């Protein structure tokens, strides 16, 4: 629906990362899989269940602010957010670790190219 630039501006992340999160959570947790109710109607898609918390976190909005946009209720939005916390267990070992020297060098190179050379001083909370 959105091109890459519009997607990134709207969701505050890149499309490939967002779909990676959706796929990983769907593979690991039953909550993020497509379900059907007793009448055979489809429930919320995994994409919707991940869009809700991503928008809430990206914009700092309350659960009832996504009801018109995504057509879900406040309690369902809160349930999506609660289950989305599984992203920490899913990606924690890969992303929530102490940076290696290679990571530090890469961050410094990117920061210097963007004229922001003191990037690591602002996140030096791991000691």
DSSP string, 98-124: PPPHHHHHHHHHHHHHTT-TTGGGGG-
Give 83-96 pLDDT, tens digit per residue: 999 998 898 888 88
Q: Is 32 exposed, middle or buried (0-12, 13-18, 19+ CB in 10 A)?
A: buried
- Say what the pTM is: 0.70
How does pLDDT run across 23-50, given as a tens digit for each residue? 999 999 999 999 998 899 998 999 999 9
């Amino acid at each position: 629906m959105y091109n890459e630039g519009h997607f990134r501006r709207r969701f505050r992340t890149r499309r490939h990362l967002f779909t990676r999160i959706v796929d990983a959570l769907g593979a690991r947790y039953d909550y993020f899989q497509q379900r059907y109710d007793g009448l055979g109607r489809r429930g919320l898609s995994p994409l919707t269940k991940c869009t809700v918390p991503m928008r809430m976190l990206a914009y700092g909005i309350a659960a009832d602010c996504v009801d018109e946009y995504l057509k879900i209720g406040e309690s369902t939005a809160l349930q999506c957010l609660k289950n989305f916390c599984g992203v920490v267990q899913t990606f924690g070992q890969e992303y929530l670790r102490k940076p290696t020297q290679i990571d530090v060098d890469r961050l410094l190179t990117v920061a210097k190219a963007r004229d922001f050379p003191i990037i690591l001083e602002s996140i030096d909370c791991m000691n």
